[in-house]
Amino acid sequence: MTINVLALSSLFPNSAEPSYGVFVLNRLRAVRGRCNVRVVAPIPVYPVLNRFGRGSSRDSRIGQRERRGDMDVDHPRFVVLPKVFKSLDALSYLVSALRIVRRIETKEGFSADVIDVHWTYPDVVTGYWLARSRGKKLIVTVRGREAFYPGALSLRRLLIGYCLRRADAVVALSEELKALTVAVGVRPERVRTILNGVDGANFTRADAAASRARLGIEPGKKVLLSVGALIERKGHHRLVRALEVLGRASEVDLYIIGAPGPEGDASGMLRRLISDSGLRNVHLVGRIDHRALADWYRAADVFCLATAGEGCPNVVLEALACGTPVVATDVGAIREVIVDGVSGFVVPRGETDRLAAAIGRALETAWDRAHIAQIMRGKGWEQCADQVIQLYQSVLAT
């Protein structure tokens, strides 16, 4: 029997932000090889901020239905209100998604077996309602610590816990996230740890000198690379401070690839920090096409991720698949994908001196880049999809 999957996620690529949530697209694309998948990816709109000229205009550039690879993706809009009204996001999301789901059911004749939710709030509330009102199975993927809204005493957290405890299964992207999921009351046997995969066709080891030549990077320079949205959580500012501590401006260049994201905009703070530090060897590259990242990974001597919180960061998997050693903070699945001393170094979160020391050590280490790339073989999206489909089959059998 072919399984029908209705995927629900506000974290998904679109024409305005083609790399936003690309890991969700990649997993669903791999699953689609053996399942029927329909994707509903609602887009938030901010009428209050727009009225005062501070809202995002990205929704005007996104079609109501778009084609992502070989999948049709519906993008209904849902209204987001600030502060105390955030609890209403779930209702707005439900109303907008329900209209599309009913059309898919009636006009396309699509009846889901599994409601597959890829973010917590407000997505999980709609996923729970759809699953229970239709007698379907609910699977929710927890992708990062921020999915639990830590430190916030709010209706959001209560709704997240309520829905997760009633899901048929929860996918955690790391053992750390599994423990956090169990801590909100989900039974351990209902939580499955499934790491992200990597696009092994695009992210492969190749000649670093050729990549540097294409990117215009000097052959003799040591190159550090960081990739991620220009938001505070990603920790690019920690790398700038670590570079100050390292004190090797004449030998090392740091390239930061990314643009502001839905979580915020730390680009101004980064530029001020770089200027105040007097560093001329830090380069803000901006947003680039996701497939073009392969050359950057290959050109780098060391990939760095000083993030404060992750699930299973794809940028780390991609760098390793290209044979590039990684220095990263000890969050999420980092220890599950980096072999300390073999494919990189893992450092405590928030300790600048230890981060700088690890980067310095990584720059001096003679890494076996072919072995690093070899470790990542067999960890592609197909292998990830195998585990996800097994989970679908497991919950449908109960």
CA distance 119 to 113: 19
Superfamily of 208-375 according to CATH: Glycogen Phosphorylase B; (3.40.50.2000)
pLDDT tens-digit series, residues 23-44: 999 999 999 999 999 999 999 9
pLDDT tens-digit series, residues 231-277: 999 999 999 999 988 876 678 999 999 998 778 899 999 999 999 98
Instruction: Tell me the pTM.
Output: 0.90
- Residue ranges of domains in the chain: 4-197+380-396, 208-375
Judge whether residue 47 has pLDDT over 50. yes
CATH top-level class of 4-197+380-396: alpha beta
- Asked if 4-197+380-396 and 208-375 have one fold, the answer is yes
Q: Dihedral angle at the C-alpha atoms of 157, 158, 161, 167, nearest 10 degrees?
A: -120
Instruction: Name the least confident of 44-48, 64-68, 77-81, 339-343.
Output: 44-48
pLDDT tens-digit series, residues 354-389: 999 999 999 999 999 999 999 999 899 999 999 999
